[in-house]
Amino acid sequence: MKNLLIIYPHWAPSNLAGVHRSRLISNFLTQFGWQPHILTVKSEFYEEKLDFDLLKTVNTSTKVYYTNAMKPPKYIRFFGDIALRAMPNLYNAAKKIIKEQQIDFIWIPIPSFYTAILGRLLHGKTKIPYGIDYIDPWVNGFVDYEKPFSRAWLSNQLASKLEPFSVKKASLISGVSTAYYQGVLDRNFKNKKIEHVGMPYGFDPNDHEIKLENIELPWKMHENCKAWVYAGAFLPKSHSFLQILFESINELRIENKWDESIRLYFLGTGSYKAQSIAEYAKENQLDDIVVEDRSRFGFLDILNFLAASAGVLVIGSTEKHYTASKIFQSLLSKKPVLAVFHQESSAVEILKESKADSYLTKFSPKETKAILKEKIKENLFNFAYSNKEWKPEFSNLDKYSAKSSAKALVDKLDLIIS
């Protein structure tokens, strides 16, 4: 059994999305001859709400090591990033683990982006090969990074200096898709070959078998309603899709073609900027059937909500490289899925392959708003009234599973250290 050290400052019971990258990969590593060792920060130093149910989703074979960090600043917030607050502790703990556990490779998912620096520093000290995994782009990955002297602009300027340093000695670049790290290769490895691999978050089917007791559904006050659920962050480049979706529902209501028992629940949408979903709903006279709750829900709560719904909404981005990891949890809810994606998004192919694209709207940048609206409106009507049995072919999803992603990573690790 070879040993992989995964450094990620957040771990269960942290409810941040990035936790699932390390968790899902580590759940399957031992099946391919690698023992996962997770180095993380004690939960008492986290700032987000904790989700202790998430501990139920961690494979018992995973070895987890906890370290301290500086407490988050209360008043003057020069920095709050947990990787910065824990950097010396993570570095020293990693050296100890490397020595005691005979680590063969170090793998560092980002963000937090600053943990990438540890790969370079630890390699310089121990010569252990390392890889950086891009959950999100680092350079040019910030919203409004082109606006001079904004916080995003300053972060991007820093990223443009730290990324070359961090990846210079890396043996592997990975990411949730090739598009997320292609810029890294173009900027830093034009004249040098480096192993790289794109693999989605995927899914662990065991997560969907965990049923929470005494869970309170968001639509408990409307027990007889048909609840359509959108779960997760509302993206900056999803606004145009949502506006058309709500305009279409409003028109269907005016035309008496809408099932008034349907209510739409947007859950865990987060603290995004610009117009809110609730405001879009009011603007389109839908505030009586649309509910937005920006609170962060537990991972298993969301899976249970989706499974109890009448239908699932997945609103993608106008960007073609956007890969919605939520597509898997949506499909595995075993409820019909209404989706809108850029026609070149990998999510489109996933829906097609699993024969779950009956209510998929594909966006083309060349088409007019009127054409897109016509397609969305037709899918909405069919989604509301179709009596077709919903039977995706889940076996076709296997290649997108977390198990397949773990195998793709291991294939590269075995090649590098052979």
Q: What angle do CA 123, 124, 130 make, to 5 degrees?
A: 15
Residue 61 pLDDT class (50, 70, 90 cuts): very high
- Asked if 36 contacts 4 with a C-beta cutoff of 8 angstroms, the reply is yes
Residue 324 pLDDT class (50, 70, 90 cuts): low
- Asked if 200 contacts 176 with a C-beta cutoff of 8 angstroms, the reply is yes
What structural domains and CATH numbers belong to the chain?
2-204+401-417 (3.40.50.2000), 207-397 (3.40.50.2000)
Query: pLDDT at residue 358 above 70?
Result: yes
Burial of 124 (0-12, 13-18, 19+ CB in 10 A): exposed
Query: pLDDT at residue 209 above 90?
Result: yes
The rounded percent of the chain whose pLDDT value lies above 90 is: 76
Res 77: pLDDT: 56
Give per-residue pLDDT as tens, 118-153. Answer: 999 999 999 999 999 999 999 887 777 778 878 778
CB atoms within 10 A of CB 102: 10
Which distant-in-sequence residues (6+ apart) come within 8 Å of 370 by Cβ? none
Res 78: pLDDT: 56
Residue type, 238: S
Res 141: pLDDT: 77
Give per-residue pLDDT as tens, 3-45. Answer: 999 999 999 999 888 999 999 999 999 999 999 999 999 999 9
Res 326: pLDDT: 82
Token pair of 157, please? 């300027």
Give the whole-angstrom CA distance, residue 340 versus residue 83.
35
Query: pLDDT at residue 240 above 70?
Result: yes
Give per-residue pLDDT as tens, 78-114. Answer: 567 899 999 999 999 999 999 999 999 999 999 999 9
- Asked if 26 contacts 6 with a C-beta cutoff of 8 angstroms, the reply is yes
Give per-residue pLDDT as tens, 286-305. Answer: 999 999 999 989 999 999 99
CA torsion 243→246→247→249, rounded to 10°?
160
Res 76: pLDDT: 56
Res 336: pLDDT: 96
Res 5: pLDDT: 98
Mean pLDDT of the chain: 92
Average pLDDT rounded to a whole number, residues 356-375? 95
Helix axes 402-417, 19-29, angle to 10 degrees: 70
Query: pLDDT at residue 74 above 80?
Result: no
Residue 75 pLDDT class (50, 70, 90 cuts): low
Give the whole-angstrom CA distance, residue 6 versus residue 176.
16
Query: pLDDT at residue 252 above 90?
Result: yes
From the centroid of its chain, how far is CA 201?
7
Give the whole-angstrom CA distance, residue 242 versus residue 281.
9
